[in-house]
Amino acid sequence: MITGALRQTGRLFALAAEVSRAFFRRPFQFREFVEQFWFIAGVTILPAALVSIPFGAVIALQVGSLTQQLGAQSFTGGASVLAVVQQASPLIVALLIAGAGGSAICADLGSRRIREELDAMEVMGVSPVQRLVVPRVLATMGVAVLLNGLVSVVGTLGGFFFNVVLQGGTPGAYLSSFSALAQLSDLYVSELKALVFGFIAGIVAAYRGLNPRGGPKGVGDAVNQSVVITFLLLFFVNMVMTAVYLQIVPPKGG
């Protein structure tokens, strides 16, 4: 049981290493990359925007009510923007990439595997990792980074709107506390998180897709597992990255 789990983990890391090496190997599958990028962006942009508005609103309302009790209303803007940019945005992106993009990648690769298409590809001397997995992982990473920008903007606007319109905050206080507390490195770490989460989502989806157990039912199980495993990994990695970031980058307000 334990050795089984360790073996799976090891093979997941081996695939991650192989994919990272293949990033730089020619020929690069540009066409496949563009197609996958387009597909993943297409299935994630709208849901991401729709999720980020209420998410920004919820954070603004929650933080607003807390700060009101503490008498620190003027800092609502800075606090909610930091929460959205650093935490909410990369996680929303990751959940959508894993749930919408990763599950599609996993199902696609899994059904190719059980139909022996991947074997056929290997027999023709074409590596499925190089030909199929690398463009997909790069696409999830690229979409994650760009989507993260979108979600940050939409989430911040949502928070601004709810704070100003519903809680009677002033736009000036919102913006000034924002520029007092937030710094550029907050955005950098947010984008870095999105990049890493995109990589993890792509690799896990590809790993489960390349190794389904038994026929069509196995592919369904693999898709299910890939989403669950991705979520678990993402939240864990997010915790580690947040802890490290808070340690090494000094907060601006302090």
Tell me which residues touch another protein (CB under 8 A): 111-112, 115-117, 119-120, 122-127, 131
Rounded-to-integer distance, Cα 99 and Cα 104, Å: 8
- CB of 225 vs another protein, minimal distance in Å: 22
Smallest gap from residue 192 Cβ to another protein (A)? 32
Q: How far is the CB of 184 from another protein (least distance, A)?
A: 43
Start-to-end CA distance of the chain, whole Å, equals: 48
Distance CA 216, CA 170 (A): 57
d(CA 130, CA 132): 6
For another protein, give the closer residue by CB, 33 or 245: 33
The single residue listed with the structure tokens 């995109």 is 198
The CA angle 130-103-125, to the nearest 5 degrees, is 20
Q: Which one, 117 or 221, has the nearer CB to another protein?
A: 117
Which residue in the block uniquely carries the two structure tokens 């190089």? 130
Residue entry with tokens 């590596």: 127
**Closer CB to another protein, 109 or 154, in the complex:** 109
| Least distance CB 122 / another protein (angstroms) | 6
Smaller CB distance to another protein: residue 64 or 212? Answer: 212
Residue type, 249: V
Q: 28 or 161: whose CB is closer to another protein?
A: 28
Q: How far is the CB of 14 from another protein (least distance, A)?
A: 12
CA–CA gap between residue 58 and residue 226 (Å, rounded): 29
